[in-house]
Structure 1
Amino acid sequence: MEKTEKMIDQHDEPEIGSVAEATPHKPATQAPGDLFDVENGDVDFRGVSWQGAAIIVTKLQIGLGALSLPSTFHVLGFFPGLLCFTTLGLICTFAGYVCGNARQYFPHMHSISDAAELLFGKFAREFIGVAYYIYVALVAGAGMLTVSVALNALSNHGACTMVFLAVICAVSFIIGTGFRSLEKVSWISWLGVAGIILSIWTTAIACLTQDRPAVAPATGPIDLEIRAFPKTTFYQAMSAVANQLFAVGGSGIFFSVSAEMKQPHLFTRSLLCGQIFIILTNIIIASIIYGKVGRYIASPALGSGGILIEKISYGIALPGLVVTAVLYSHVAAKYSFVRILRGSRHLQSNTAQHWAVWASSNFVTVIFGFIVVNVIPFFGDFLSLVGALFNPIFTNVVPGFMVLFFISKRPIKAVESQTPPSLDESQSTMDWLVGSFTAAKRGKKEACAFAIAWFMIITGAFIIVGGTYATVLSIQAAYDDGDISGVFSCADNS
């Protein structure tokens, strides 16, 4: 009997025998229809080990979000904030599982735009593709912005902020263009993760040893105003939720990570290692910092330990912050690079066209990031805006619909089908969407997956509408109060 497997039923990793065993220098045998040619290409885009994938998953999400998370506990209240972050973390882990393992069934996929085409057709591919590129490039810009904050803090605003931004843009372009595969980027990601973790722990320990928060008044009584439960407005709460989603919302990028793994069937192992570490680290660090400084939280949080600790922490974190900018710039550039050269010999050949497209993709990405962060030169609301407007699409909405598709269609794994997967042009969205309601009645697992999928879709839509509205109001209020400098400003942002 022909064996079929449902993606959502895969709790254990596929057996090693299901694909050819990978060697340290040669990726596993590719499935029919795989995007990258593992035998004949000049460039090996399938060299990432499962350990390398785990560190990339970690680096994609550790850093910028961890620096903004303590302030969300103050806005939402500690217990609701903790519950909200844990829930979002579980949703993003489930979404990451769906995204990272989808290529075992459809190995032509490289990004979430390919999944959108499978679900909704070619128009959806273009729409989601543009949104995906903008999202990743914006996060790269956020990384550049954070590096400029670090350089301003370390140098006591020794130069115009735009100069610092220009420097990190140049560094991102040079390193990003030199590393064409994620395997090379995974090497520097180890350094990036180590730097970020050490720096935030330095800040947390410094906060624990202080008698009073560094940014609190030097004399007189202080009220930390530790909130167990919320005391806030709707728009402040939604902005905080968007910030939390940003901290763990890299799920949509996991297509690209899985696409460059030697053994994609081990992605679940990489995902769990990365996500468990990220969620626990964020909770512990944010709880310590919030518990000690309360409402006297700096944004980013590395400034909460005082001027000296801030300089030390930023000095330690600087390599990690640079890696964040490089990694996201690389991922955004890789999307446009693959989108342009997909199906041609230039994708994996050392031709002039290959290098021209690759270098141009990196250049456009860093210039876009430079412009955006100079137009939106504020840290907290920038992350909230990205988290509200884009993250839910890639962590909730599209993965939720993918779950409905899989429980309805029950596709065969590509390594078992022996034929390249193809899109059924005659199939409409309503076919699998209606079919998912029928499939949900087959058993408890299907019913549970069906319920989770709709919960993801509905909460994602709510965050998009409510979070974006709230962030826009917050930005407007900041401008009205004079808390934000003008665009393309040289002002100190540390």
Structure 2
Amino acid sequence: MKTPFEKQDASHDNVERASVHGGESVTISRQFHQQDVFTAPRRGDVNFRGVSWPAATVLVAKFQIGLGALSIPSTFHVLGFFPGILSFVILALITTGAGFVCGNARQYYPRLHSIADASDLLFGPITREVVGCVYYLYLALTTGAGLLTTSVALNALSEHGTCSVVFVAVISVACFILGTGFRTLERVAWISWAGVTCIFVALCVTTIACLAQNRPAAALPAPAPLDMDVWAFPEDTTFTQAMIAVSNQLFAMREPQKFTRALVIGQSFIVLTNIAVGSIVYAKVGQYLASPALGSAGPLIKKVSYGIALPGLLVTAIIYSHIAGKYCLVRILRGTRHLQSNTVTHWAVWIGAMPVTVVFGFIIVNLVPFSGDFLSLVGALVNPIFTNVVPGFMILFFIAKRPSKVVNGQEHWALQSLQKARQDGPWLLLWLLAVFMIATGVFIMVAGTYATVLSIKQSYDDGSIGGVFSCADNSNT
């Protein structure tokens, strides 16, 4: 069965080149078809294309496990057990579909290096710059989230041995040094194996400890009454709380020919792990959940879990700062000999891009020094662009470019997609799915960001969190 990405024949290429951007379509489309970002490395060049499919699998897993997985149990408490799982599964299917669309598209449009390039293919160069800035913002914010969660681990292990800002600063320096040393994803994949293992083992330790306890560690000692407050369905959840939970869930959810295999294996591992851990911990701990979830089984297990997870949490910050730095490197040096050569220009851009990302993450995380709402903010503000909106438009684009009997080459590809979808049922269902992805993405962005801002404001108003650049212990939440 052919995918919607598959180029059918040379005549299809000609139709495509005639209708992407009007008068400028020939040059742009031919660029996307014929030019790859990275060429075959010459002696002394950096090989940016050495990632095997097993390494891609662990990268898919590591990009997601470590931050979102720690917040899943609390989303079940807000949404209710069954709606929480249903919401998570739907988001998982959407994000897996988005990964399939974006990953396989690169086989037929080799010039696609990032979601910004996909936006250029869809809407032109101005959109590429806008989406590129948002993409970098997302990576920098996620780097900050990694710094914050790692500082929570250090606070837990040291019993708040020093100011939290100092912990974040130390982690930022480590992130810069280690992240700068790994220029290729092939090398990052090696530390990702350790990162995934550490996080997974830490989650298992917390889950088993919660199962072994007679009552949650945060509950009052017996014989005080115990109210788990576990909901199969939500009872008094507000719209704001629900959107924050969905945003957190969205944050928990990224060899070319074998990309689909890596995506499916990596995503399956993440989804099953999150559902299993979230269900067990929520059922045993209920309203006494900690955020992040590693603190839900009491002080001793909290230290053990964070001690095991610490390398994995640090790897999360390293990976996202690396991807952000790589985006800057490609954006600045694309099409020049400096992109893959070990020149002074290459190293200047690479080394310069890393501290900008880390410093930005350091500043943001100290302006918003709490993990729950921070993850929700990132999940709502920028995640839907990459998991829902742009992939949805890409599906419409590929529907428009498939061969069919009825084609008006003068119409925009969005209108062509509707015309072609109406020709048969399966393509219409795919078209409806794309529209659903776009609509839900926009809704989460608007409603989720609004809800998270209200929650952050409320937290500052009621004094439950300190001010900016606070030294307070961020592990007691």
Q: Using structure 1 for the length normalisation, give the TM-score.
A: 0.88
Deviation per CA, 1:96-142: give whole Å up to 9, x if none: 00011111111111110000111111111111000000001100110
Partner of residue 391 from structure 1, selected from 380, 383, 391: 383
| Contact 1:5/1:410, CA 8 A, preserved across alignment | no
Q: Secondary structure at the match of 2:109?
A: coil
How far 1:6 sits from its partner (Å)?
Answer: 2.6
User: Percent identity, aligned pairs only?
Assistant: 62
Whether the 8 Å CA contact 1:116–1:398 is kept in 2: the answer is yes
Give the partner amino acid of 1:187: W
Q: Which runs of 4+ in 1 moved over 6 A?
A: none
Aligned-CA RMSD value: 1.7
1:8–1:207 Cα change, 3 Å: farther
Partners of 1:5 and 1:456 in 2: CA distance: 18
2:260 pairs with one of 244, 268, 283: 268
Q: Is the 8 A contact 1:8 1:403 kept in 2?
A: no
User: In the alignment, which of 182, 189, 192 is matched to residue 192 of structure 2?
Assistant: 189
* Counterpart residue identity of residue 235, structure 1: T
Cα distance in 1 for partners of 2:41, 2:349 equals 23
Matches within 5 A, 1:176-325: 176-219=179-222, 220-231=224-235, 232-248=237-253, 251=254, 263-325=255-317
2:357 corresponds to 1:355: no
Residue in 1 aligned with 2:173? 170
Task: From 471, 482, 485, give the equivalent of 2:466.
Answer: 485
Task: Tell me, in whole angstroms, the C-alpha distance in 2 between the residues paired with 1:54 and 1:157.
Answer: 36
**For residue 119 of structure 2, what is the aligned residue in structure 1?**
116
Q: Would the alpha carbon gap of residues 355 and 82 (structure 1) be closer, same or farther in structure 2, given more than 3 Å must change? A: same
Alignment-derived partner of residue 21 in structure 2: none
Tell whether the 8 Å contact from 1:161 to 1:490 is kept in structure 2 after alignment. yes
How do 1:381-420 residues align onto structure 2 when only pairs under 5 Å count?
381-410=373-402
Match of 2:423 in 1: 442
2:64 pairs with 1:61: yes
How far apart are the structure 1 equivalents of 2:46 and 2:423? 45
For residue 38 of structure 1, what is the aligned residue in structure 2?
A: 40
CA shift, 1:443, in A, is 2.6
Counterpart of 1:260 in structure 2 is none
Deviates further, 440-449 or 339-348 = 440-449
Aligned mates of 2:298, 2:425 — CA distance in 1: 53
Per mean C-alpha deviation after superposition, the further-off stretch among 168-177 and 397-406 is: 168-177
Report deviation, 1:5: 6.1
> What is aligned with 1:415?
none
Give the partner amino acid of 1:51.
P
Partners of 1:453 and 1:357 in 2: how far apart? 37
In the other structure, the counterpart of 2:362 is 370
Deviation at 1:230, TM superposition (A): 0.8
Residue number in structure 2 paired with 1:380: 372
Inter-partner Cα distance in structure 2 for 1:156 and 1:481: 25
1:194-246: CA deviation from partner (whole Å, max 9, x where unpaired): 00000011000000011110111123011001100012000000110000000
Task: Summarize the Cα distance change of 1:9–1:77 in structure 2 as closer, same or farther, 3 Å threshold.
Answer: farther
Aligned to 2:414: 433
Alpha-carbon distance, 1:160 to partner: 1.1
Is structure 2 residue 344 aligned with structure 1 residue 346?
no
* Deviation of the 1:8 alpha carbon: 7.8
Could you list the runs of 5+ residues in structure 1 that have no partner in the other structure?
11-30, 252-262, 412-426
Corresponding residue pairs, total? 443
Note if contact 2:195-2:315 (Cα within 8 Å) is conserved in structure 1. Answer: yes
Q: CA deviation at 1:39?
A: 3.9
Give unpaired runs (5+ residues) of structure 2. 9-32, 404-408
Contact in 1 for aligned 2:147/2:314 (Cα 8 Å): yes
Give 1:286's aligned amino acid.
Answer: G
Moved more, 40-49 or 68-77: 40-49
Q: Secondary structure at the match of 1:71?
A: helix
- Which whole-Å deviations, capped at 9, do the CAs of 1:74-95 have from their partners, x for residues lacking one? 1000000110000000000000
Query: Could you tell me how far 1:64 is from its partner in structure 2?
Result: 0.5
How far residue 486 of structure 1 moved from its aligned partner, in angstroms, is: 0.7
Return the offset for 1:410.
Answer: 2.9
Aligned equivalents of 1:283 and 1:186: distance in 2?
Answer: 25
Task: Give CA-to-partner distance per residue, 1:138-194, whole Å, 9 cap, x none.
Answer: 001100100100000000111111111111111111111111000000000000000
- The normalised TM-score by structure 2 is 0.91
1:330 is aligned to: 322
